[in-house]
Amino acid sequence: MTTPLPPRLVADALWLLTARSRGGNHWVNNVHSEIDSVDIAGHSYPVTLLENSDWKESYVASPRSTWLRYARQEALRHLSPMLAHVAKAGSCVVFGPLAALMQASKLDQSVIIANYLISTNLYSNWHRDDISHITATVSEQHPERPLMIRNICSEVTPSLMTNLSQQGWKMLPTRMIYLCDPQKTEVWKHNHVKKDAKLLLDNTVEIVTQESLTPNDLDALRLLFQQLFIDKHSYLNPDFSPAFFSLCLETSFLELIGLRWQGRWVGVVGLYMHPESGWLTTPLIGYDTTLPQELGLYRRLMAILLREAKNRDYRLHYSSGASQFKRARAGTPAMEYTAIYNHHLPKQQKYYSDVFIKLFQQCAPNLLKRADGL
């Protein structure tokens, strides 16, 4: 009798099978990469291949959007229109040379390994032999493309960064993330955690689990996600398609939980659980931003996230952003990196990518910490 595959593997396999035939755009509207695959430790993982990224290409597929476009947006976000106009002109002095380096090194055309086009990919602690195999295989298949693996953090997968570094991969600082272990009793002693937990006891806003959701609910939930992720924050965030929401409902690729108030949908969160690493995160969250803050929709969603991680015996990956909010809820800061391999590249191309990497290694850590108030 054949043993059924775990739900996580079934969901991942369906995501990959469909993406290989239809491209990344099937799951994320603002991604235009081809999807290939590579076998690592007995499992198939997606490989994203981007030829050209326009100004709206999501950062989950485009390194240019990650390091240049998004950074420029954040720098200009809180300025007045007049100051923003001046700053845009000045930013060309900084971002122009970086864009030229990226063009010469083809970093934006990198082969991104194990990339599910979500904000936070989670990994197993691949062994050195596994990394050696994928490095040799993928670099031979793509001799003029750098190799990348996003979302590398030593606090999340302790040996993975070490094993990659020993195989010649270079670490480029990318963002500050926040981590929490809800199995520790001290987490639940934080005042904000206590107050948020009390909100969940208030039946004014109904919590609707995945089992009670129907396909007819998905359009409204997707609009809530877009209202927060795309409209309020950035069009460079992944704009998940209707097909992606259907995939989540059918397979729990992300387990959806909704908030309903006075008969209308007002919030949604998608749980991404990775049993091999023991981490849970949310690449998808949204709420009605027009409603009063007193309703505490974001606080409720984050309280659900913390509660579900505890109940399911996972550690919680808070991802990035809202740094003060997450620190007040037991989030511990950690630096996350993108691993880059470029030893197989033509000499001049490798030189340009090395210069880009060294610049970020020297400047990014302090800038990222300062931006998060650390």
Q: Tell me, what's the pLDDT at 85?
A: 46
- pLDDT tier at 98, thresholds 50, 70, 90: confident
Tell me: do 279 and 220 sit in the same domain: yes
DSSP string, 193-217: HHHHHHHTT-TTSEEE-GGG--GGG
Task: Work out whether strand 170-180 and strand 332-341 pair parallel, antiparallel, or are unpaired.
Answer: antiparallel
pLDDT tens per residue across span 161-212: 999 999 999 999 999 999 999 999 999 999 999 999 999 998 899 999 999 9
Would residue 19 count as lying in a domain? Answer: no
320/280 Cα distance (integer angstroms): 14
Within 13 A of 183's CA, how many CA atoms are on the CB side?
Answer: 7
Task: Specify the number of domains making up the chain.
Answer: 2
Judgement on whether residues 327 and 250 belong to the same structural domain of the protein: yes
Residues 261 and 190 in one domain: yes
- The mean pLDDT of 256-264, rounded to a whole number, is 97
Residue 3 lies in a domain: no
Identify whether the C-beta of residue 256 lies closer than 8 Å to the C-beta of residue 248: yes
Relative orientation angle of helices 297-311 and 191-199, to the nearest 10 degrees: 100
Instruction: Give the model confidence (pLDDT) of 110-122 as tens digits.
Output: 999 999 999 999 9
Does a structural domain hold residue 18? no
148 and 220 in a single domain? The answer is no
Decide if pLDDT at 108 tops 80. yes
The answer on 226 and 348 residing in a single domain is: no
224, 320: one domain = yes
Cα angle vertex 260, ends 15, 291, to 5°? 105
* pLDDT-based confidence at residue 81 (cuts at 50, 70, 90): low
Cβ–Cβ < 8 Å for 296, 204: no
pLDDT of residue 179: 98
Q: In this structure, are 294 and 366 located in the same domain?
A: no
Q: What is the CATH number of the domain that holds 239?
A: 3.40.630.30
Q: What is the pTM of this model?
A: 0.94
Asked if residue 184 and residue 170 are part of one domain, the reply reads no
Same domain, 319 and 284: yes
Alpha helices in the chain (DSSP H): 7-22, 63-64, 70-77, 81-105, 128-141, 160-166, 191-199, 218-226, 242-251, 297-311, 323-327, 347-371
Residue 344 predicted with pLDDT over 80: yes
List all residues 6 or more positions away from 245 whose beta carbon is below 8 Å from its beta carbon.
218, 221, 222, 256
Q: Are residues 81 and 124 in the same domain?
A: yes
**219-236 pLDDT, tens per residue?**
999 999 999 999 999 999
Kindly state whether residue 20 falls inside one of the protein's structural domains.
Answer: no
Asked if 148 and 208 sit in the same domain, the reply is no
Rg (CA), the chain: 21
The verdict on 42 and 144 lying in the same domain is yes
273 inside domain: yes
Whether the pLDDT of residue 94 is over 70: the answer is: no
Which band of pLDDT confidence, cut at 50, 70 and 90, is reported for residue 237?
A: very high
Find the distance separating the first CA and the last CA of the chain, reported in whole Å: 55
**Distance of alpha carbon 205 from alpha carbon 88, whole angstroms:** 42
| Cβ neighbours for 34, distance < 8 A, ≥ 6 positions apart | 23, 24, 48, 49, 50, 51
Q: Is 22 within a domain?
A: no
Q: Give the whole-angstrom CA distance, residue 9 versus residue 11.
A: 5
Q: Is residue 2 part of a domain?
A: no
Segment 43-48 shows an average pLDDT of: 96
55 belongs to a structural domain: yes
Mean residue pLDDT across the chain: 92
* Residue range of the domain that includes 354: 29-175+338-371
